[in-house]
Amino acid sequence: MIIVLKPGVTEQEINHIVEKIEKLGLKPWVSKGVQKSIIGVIGEEDVLRVQPLEAFPGVEKVLSILKPFKLVSREFKPDDTIIDVKGVKIGGKQIIVMAGPCAVEKKDLLLEIAREVKKSGAKILRGGAFKPRTSPYSFQGLGEEGLRYLREVAEQTGLLVVTEVMDTRDVSLVEKYTDIFQIGARNMQNFNLLKEVGQSKKPVLLKRGMSSTVKELLMSAEYIASNGNLNIILCERGIRTFTEYTRNTFDIIAVPLVKELSHLPIIVDPSHATGKWGLVRPACKAAVAIGADGLLIEVHPSPEDALSDGVQSIVPERFDALMRELKAVAKAVGREI
């Protein structure tokens, strides 16, 4: 349920409504927007039906949210959410690029990649220390050592860090080193993991599951939000279809669709969406043109030696050329990069 407040509602009036809702055992979420302020109410709303909430001072109207996702829905918050990560704003005019290797391999290699991507305009360093590999015999990541390298390199270069957490038992460890938690495609519906990162204050990059619908993605975001963390960045990274020549199918229309349904920012991962380095460039251009708030790009100076996802990693020189090209696309759609 959403309580839409009158323009000019006072703090005192808001507090009065909040107290009333809490007394009824429900959870109020106050959202102060540019256009209007609202209070979202989560819980067994039936008790509110007998309460004449419209009669409270400051209340304009009371609406039901018909969608299964509530806190992350556009109805709950009409204005776009901008996630501020140490001054880097995701969801605003600037398109934020996160780049780096698929996996953290060696510290000096990570530093080399970080310096290159920073120079070309990336704001956030990506790299997995815990890798979800199809085969148990493939490189599984460096674990805490990899997290330490990410933090050290981030401090040295002035980049922020996004890295995957795969297990509820590692959330507090990863939290010590990262600026943004990444929840990978394979864990999009690991509900215990979602609840755990929902209890943190750190932003969460939630990747779409490889066989998930947009509704399921938003329901997973709702798990994080309903546990108290609304700092969620969604990510379209391709879904499984019957295509033969790409690793996944880049569901490009998910970007504006998510924006219609939700106030959360959405970024695109062209590397996993296509699985081929040669397709990363056109996928990035399309993503920016259609309104993505950011990109997550795998970059490696020597893709043939990469310990994971070399075939979809671009070399720093191509990344630099791509960033230049994207500036023009961003400008054409009223954004900047």
117: helix, strand or coil = helix
Segment near ligand PEP (CB under 6 A); pick from 14-22, 52-60, 170-178, 184-192: 184-192
Segment near Mn ion (CB under 5 A); pick from 16-24, 145-153, 188-196, 301-309: 301-309
Least distance to ligand PEP from the beta carbon of 225, Å? 20
For residue 294, the cross-strand partners are 96
Q: Is 62 or 287 the residue whose CB approaches ligand PEP more closely?
A: 287
For residue 97, the cross-strand partners are 295
253-272 residues in contact with ligand PEP (CB under 6 A) are: 269, 272
28: helix, strand or coil = strand
Least distance to ligand PEP from the beta carbon of 267, Å? 12
| Binding track, positions 102-141, relative to ligand PEP; x by CB under 6 A | x-------------------------x---x---------
Interatomic CA distance for residues 337 and 334, integer angstroms: 10
Q: Is 309 in the site for Mn ion (CB under 5 A)?
A: yes
Q: Is 59 or 296 the residue whose CB approaches ligand PEP more closely?
A: 296
Least distance to Mn ion from the beta carbon of 184, Å? 9
The entry of ligand PEP, Mn ion, none that residue 185 binds, CB within 5 to 8 Å by partner kind: ligand PEP
From the list 184, 224, 169, 217, the residue with the least C-alpha distance to 201 is 224
Q: Is 170 in the site for Mn ion (CB under 5 A)?
A: no
Segment near ligand PEP (CB under 6 A); pick from 20-28, 36-44, 55-63, 178-186: 178-186
Q: Is 116 in the site for Mn ion (CB under 5 A)?
A: no
Number of helices (H), then strands (E), belonging to the chain: the values are 11, 14
Residue 22 CB partners (closer than 8 Å, separation 6+): 28
Least distance to ligand PEP from the beta carbon of 102, Å? 5
Q: How far apart are the first and last CA of the chain?
A: 37
Q: Is 184 in the site for ligand PEP (CB under 6 A)?
A: yes
**C-beta separation of 309 from 298 below 8 A:** yes
Q: Is 307 in the site for Mn ion (CB under 5 A)?
A: no
Question: Binding residue for Mn ion (CB under 5 A) from 14, 59, 90, 102?
Answer: 102
Six token digits for residue 16: 């009065």
Six token digits for residue 129: 């220390």
Q: Is 102 or 110 the residue whose CB approaches Mn ion more closely?
A: 102
Q: Is 74 or 300 the residue whose CB approaches Mn ion more closely?
A: 300
Least distance to Mn ion from the beta carbon of 105, Å? 12
Q: Is 56 or 139 the residue whose CB approaches Mn ion more closely?
A: 139
Residue 294 CB partners (closer than 8 Å, separation 6+): 90, 95, 96, 97, 98, 233, 265, 267, 268
Name the residue type at position 160.
L
**C-beta separation of 319 from 117 below 8 A:** yes
Residue 240 CB partners (closer than 8 Å, separation 6+): 210, 211, 248, 249
Residue nearest to Mn ion (CB): 102
Q: Is 102 or 205 the residue whose CB approaches Mn ion more closely?
A: 102
Q: Any idea how long the chain is?
A: 337
The entry of ligand PEP, Mn ion, none that residue 74 binds, CB within 5 to 8 Å by partner kind: none
**C-beta separation of 91 from 232 below 8 A:** no
Q: Which residues bind ligand PEP (CB under 6 A)?
A: 102, 128, 132, 184-186, 207, 237, 269, 272
Binding residues for Mn ion, per CB under 5 A? 102, 309
